[in-house]
Amino acid sequence: MTDGVEAGGAARTTTSWRDFGEPELPVPLAAALAAFAEHGYHGTSVREIAARANLSVPGLYHHYPSKQSLLQGLLERTMTDLLARSAQAIVEAGDEPVDQFDAVVESLLRFHMYRREQAFVGSTEIRSLDDSYKSTYIGHRDRQQRMVDEIVFAGVAAGDFATEYPKDTSRAVATMCVGVSTWFKLDGELDADELIKRNLKIARDIVGYGRG
């Protein structure tokens, strides 16, 4: 097995983009995720990951030949899941740009709330990726951003969104959604549905919905 390609292939497509249970990660990846989220990639040893996974170091290497392959396997699963959920949300929303916009924003928010650790590691550890995989990972992120870009441009063309700077606006909305992973807690004062409601309103304000 080569770095960046995990045993068992990519994550399966979810049955519903709004449904989140516990992450379905192989035990070594779940152990790596917990360690990376707590100590960072460079602050985590292979021995610690193996211990968290209840494996010997050689046993861990049997599944993932390096710490880098664990990071790549984890991020590949994260982006596969995120992209599948976003695409499904957009398709189910229908053809109207504002409906697609609401759907992709909600999808991004839900993912970054319910997959906080995976999203956090994906955002902070891009610097730790080997060049051989980094371009692939950046390509995944760019694809996600293009989904939002295309909807915002369509909304402007349809007269639904009044922003003068659709590309900048699209990135601001995506950044707002991604940022949720750094502070939101499911057991905090603000519940998930209320956060989504508030941020959907903020996102619509950013693109100028209703001002066209």
Give pLDDT tens digits for 155-208. 999 999 999 999 999 999 999 999 999 888 888 888 899 999 999 999 999 999
Average pLDDT over residues 120-141: 95
Average pLDDT over residues 23-37: 95
Question: What band does 10 get if pLDDT is binned at 50, 70 and 90?
Answer: very low
pLDDT of residue 185: 86
State the pTM of this model: 0.88
Average pLDDT over residues 64-74: 97
pLDDT above 60 for 6: no
- Residue given tokens 């040893």 in the structure block: 45
pLDDT above 50 for 59: yes
Going by C-beta distance under 8 Å and a sequence separation of 6 or more, which residues neighbour residue 207?
101, 152, 155, 161, 162, 163, 166, 169, 173
- Residue given tokens 């861990």 in the structure block: 60
pLDDT above 80 for 4: no
Question: Per-residue pLDDT tens for 92-101?
Answer: 999 999 999 9
162 contacts 211 by C-beta, under 8 angstroms: yes
pLDDT of residue 186: 82
Residue 30's nearest CA partner among 9, 52, 12 is: 52
194 contacts 125 by C-beta, under 8 angstroms: no
Average pLDDT over residues 105-134: 95
pLDDT of residue 188: 82
Average pLDDT over residues 31-35: 97
